[in-house]
Chain A
Amino acid sequence: MNFQVYNRDICVGDIRVIGVSSSSLLMVGDAETIQLAATFDTPAESLIVGPFVPLSPDIS
């Protein structure tokens, strides 16, 4: 496949952003490759109802 891009005038007025978070990227410029990956886990087991038990301690 032949993919050709012609970048003409880009002139932006205002960019207003509340937050850029969790390995997000806000970029004004060019890049060759951008890889974004995210895992987000909220399974049923993550809702724990019962006597208070601390999470497994950080052993590292």
Chain B
Amino acid sequence: MITMLQRITCVDHIKIDSVSFSSIFQIGDSEQIQAVSRALAVQREAEIFFDNEGNFDAFTVFSEAIPFQAADDENVTFSTHNLNPVLKVRNIDILGASSSSVVHLGNSRNIAMEARVKHIRQLLPRNNNSGVEGI
């Protein structure tokens, strides 16, 4: 698809305030991108956290397979005609890129991005004698 007549990306101005936690700001073409981000998001009523806490293996969200249909599974003949070979953007303004995300100016071939997040909320014990059930 992007073998012979590739399109050129033309960005006049780009401003990114922060690129953090294994994120990438890529200017120029790439061949393959594979990004994985895993997060245990723990909210606690009491502000207690330990430095050795959290084991990804203890939660299935981090190990279960995410099935994909193979890209060449369907019989589709695909052709692109780049009548205007320039992708023009005047200005890009991004506050932050985080957690294995990618900001990419240019072409690529195969991209696979994966994110797995487990949310846990821990609340202090409370007296439910008032008859108010649940939170």
Contacts and interface: CB of A to CB of B under 8 A. Distances in A.
The answer on A and B forming one complex is yes
A35 B36 contact: no
A49 B7 CA distance: 55
Given A4-B81, A39-B66, A46 B110 contact: no
Interface of A: 1-42, 46-60
- What range describes how many residues of B lie at the interface? 35 or more
A20 B105 contact: no
A21 B99 contact: yes
Interface string B97-133: 1111111111111111111111111111110000000
Nearest to B126: A49
A46 B96 contact: no
Contact of A27 (B48, B77, B104, B121): B104
Contacts of B93: 14-17
